[in-house]
Amino acid sequence: MHRTPTSQSPIGIFDSGVGGLTVLKAMQKLLPSEQLLYFGDTARVPYGTKSQVTIRRYAEEDTRILLRHQPKMIIVACNTVSALALDVVEKTADPLPVLGVLEAGADTAVEVTRTGRIGVIGTQATISSNAYAYAINQASADSEVFSTACPLFVPLAEEGMLNNEATRLIAREYLAPLLAEEIDTLVLGCTHYPILRTIIEETAGTGVTIIDSAEAVAARAAALLRNTGMEASGTRATIPHLMVSDLPQKFSSLYRLFMNATVPDVELVEV
Amino acid sequence: MHRTPTSQSPIGIFDSGVGGLTVLKAMQKLLPSEQLLYFGDTARVPYGTKSQVTIRRYAEEDTRILLRHQPKMIIVACNTVSALALDVVEKTADPLPVLGVLEAGADTAVEVTRTGRIGVIGTQATISSNAYAYAINQASADSEVFSTACPLFVPLAEEGMLNNEATRLIAREYLAPLLAEEIDTLVLGCTHYPILRTIIEETAGTGVTIIDSAEAVAARAAALLRNTGMEASGTRATIPHLMVSDLPQKFSSLYRLFMNATVPDVELVEV
């Protein structure tokens, strides 16, 4: 049985793993009074290398895990799910509003670009889906999108190699074809990438504006809550409710890397 | 119902994904007349970042998938499973013989070392388990083991960055603490690493013998079949029976990278 959500209901966020913590962090910063619920499917991470059929099945299961807690909104923090299975989440969560990082990043890029030449980087699955190019062209038919997959950025981020010569070489190699196209805007189309933002920004140079999809989706969530009168009242900062499907030793250290904070209590959920 | 296996029964090999194809390849080379069965759990790869409880559950399920085909022997091509769940596989497959890459690599290192100073590289889970150090010290109490996790080697191998400056820098960074200990033998404790063998060998230098666990386990399998009179008769090279739990686009290109061959028919198995 589902109750009608109120303004005090939580906001549910899910991701394939820890990457979506950049969305949690952006949400906390922008909406400190909201009760945030985070599910990271750490048992089945990564989604980016899996087939569409599998990703769509996982997306439905992940949404149902959040629905148990009667949220007022669902945020898909996973670019792969946003790209390949947003309709599955919308159908499963209906009539709740659903926001995807991908759409938020795409729309923000269109608002920011001056030349209409937009670069997108992400996992292989996100880039192969062409979902960013599609979403950007929906928002502005004149934009030209240049995209490239950067499969090593996730493990480099998780290794904490944030200021490292090898990371710099790899970033240069990945970004070269986009920079050759004279992009003026670059979308970080994977929630891990903000961790490497300094090196990506350095490599892209001052002429390129970086769009962080995590910040973009948090801004859209704030606007939606404001416009629908569903903002939580209260002035106290809340503690997020964290759920994961597997608890590797690694989780604590990654939580620290993403959130600059020690890990609070985490609930283990079976998938 | 299980029939008693005969010398013509297949040999079952499983891994968390495509990495175990290096074992398949070593087996094909050494035992061309054997019917080989390979299951890669591509839907749930990687195991290396997951908890022991999860890995043990997967190990049992993977073994059962191979048992459906009435094999005469099980080879655990996954170092993580060899390290954390070999007993689960043995119990599930009982009374069939079970060989793990880890034990084969450890025993071979002990045979080869002259100074007793052995280096081991692998995934975080394999290294944290200390299973190589344990197995090496079981075989030779005098050996000293120095090990380090190299989490970036798998994605670097899968990106095909086999002759690349960034890979060289990362290899140098990973291997430096082992080389400082003056090891004379280095075990590639992850089935992906043979793909990067050239760079690893160059970085380690001529004084260090590289042990490829995939070649080591194939040699043990050949010896066991010979000693038990269970070698398949026939002189024709067989085509391996491949099974995966998910079929990402990536599979074909990785198969080519690992096997230097185009991918044959692949059966999709649900997990």
Confidence of residue A30 (pLDDT cuts 50, 70, 90): very high
pLDDT of B198: 96
Only one residue has tokens 């082992």, namely: B178
Which candidate from B54, B166, B248 shows the least CB-CB separation from A169? B166
Which chain B residues are within 8 Å of A49, Cβ to Cβ? Answer: 42, 45, 248, 250
Residue count of chain A, please give it.
Answer: 271
> Is A142 annotated to bind ligand?
no
Average pLDDT over residues B244-252: 78
- Name beta bridge partners: A209: A185
Confidence of residue A41 (pLDDT cuts 50, 70, 90): very high
Nearest Cα to Cα of residue A147 among A131, A127, A129: A127
pLDDT of B104: 97
Contact A208, B12 (CB under 8 A): no
Q: What are phi and psi of A8, to 5 degrees?
A: -90, -5
Q: In terms of CA atoms, which chain A residue is nearest residue B251?
A: A49
Please give the Cα distance from A230 to B217 (Å, whole number).
61
Spell out the residues 6+ positions from residue A112 whose beta carbon is closer than 8 angstroms to its own: A185, A209, A211
Please give the Cα distance from A167 to B120 (Å, whole number).
24
Burial (CB count within 10 angstroms: exposed 0-12, middle 13-18, buried 19+), residue A113: buried
Burial B176-188 (b: 16+ CB within 10 A, else e): eebbeeebbbbbb
Please give the Cα distance from A162 to A34 (Å, whole number).
31
Confidence of residue B248 (pLDDT cuts 50, 70, 90): low
Please give the Cα distance from A269 to A266 (Å, whole number).
10
Which chain A residues are within 8 Å of B124, Cβ to Cβ? Answer: 250
Average pLDDT over residues B10-37: 95
Please give the Cα distance from A84 to A213 (Å, whole number).
16
Please give the Cα distance from A120 to A123 (Å, whole number).
10
Confidence of residue A56 (pLDDT cuts 50, 70, 90): very high
pLDDT for B223 beyond 90: yes
ipTM of this model?
Answer: 0.76
| Cross-chain Cβ contact B170/A166 below 8 Å | yes
Any chain A CB within 8 A of the CB of B43?
yes
pLDDT of B249: 62
Which chain B residues are within 8 Å of A47, Cβ to Cβ? Answer: none
State how beta strands A36-40 and A241-244 pair. Answer: parallel
Which candidate from B161, B169, B250 shows the least CB-CB separation from A124? B250
Confidence of residue B52 (pLDDT cuts 50, 70, 90): confident
Average pLDDT over residues B180-191: 96
Which residues 64-123 of A are in CB contact (within 8 Å) with B?
Answer: none
pLDDT for A1 beyond 60: no
Task: Please tell me what DSSP assigns to residue A68.
Answer: T
Q: Which domains does chain A have, with CATH numbers?
A: 11-100+215-268 (3.40.50.1860), 102-213 (3.40.50.1860)
Confidence of residue B124 (pLDDT cuts 50, 70, 90): confident
Which chain B residues are within 8 Å of A161, Cβ to Cβ? Answer: 152
Which chain B residues are within 8 Å of A196, Cβ to Cβ? Answer: none
A-to-B residue pairs, Cβ atoms closer than 8 angstroms:
64
pLDDT for B245 beyond 70: yes
pLDDT of A214: 95
Confidence of residue A248 (pLDDT cuts 50, 70, 90): low
Any chain B CB within 8 A of the CB of A49?
yes
Any chain A CB within 8 A of the CB of B261?
no
Average pLDDT over residues A153-165: 91
Q: What would the pLDDT profile of B192-207 be if each residue is shown by its tens digit?
A: 999 999 999 999 999 9
Catalytic, B150? Answer: no
Q: What would the pLDDT profile of A84-95 be if each residue is shown by its tens digit?
A: 999 999 999 999
Q: Provide the residue type at A209 as one letter.
A: T
Spell out the residues 6+ positions from residue B161 whose beta carbon is closer than 8 angstroms to its own: A152, B167
How far from chain centre, in Å, is Cα A119?
A: 17
Burial B34-66 (b: 16+ CB within 10 A, else e): bbbbbbbbbbbbbbbbbbbebbbebbebbbebb
Any chain A CB within 8 A of the CB of B268?
no
pLDDT for A250 beyond 80: no
Please give the Cα distance from B206 to B226 (Å, whole number).
34
Which residues 122-161 of A are in CB contact (within 8 Å) with B?
Answer: 124-125, 128, 151-152, 154-156, 158-159, 161
Confidence of residue A251 (pLDDT cuts 50, 70, 90): confident
Burial B67-100 (b: 16+ CB within 10 A, else e): eeebbbbbbbbbbbbbbbbbebbbebbeebbbbb
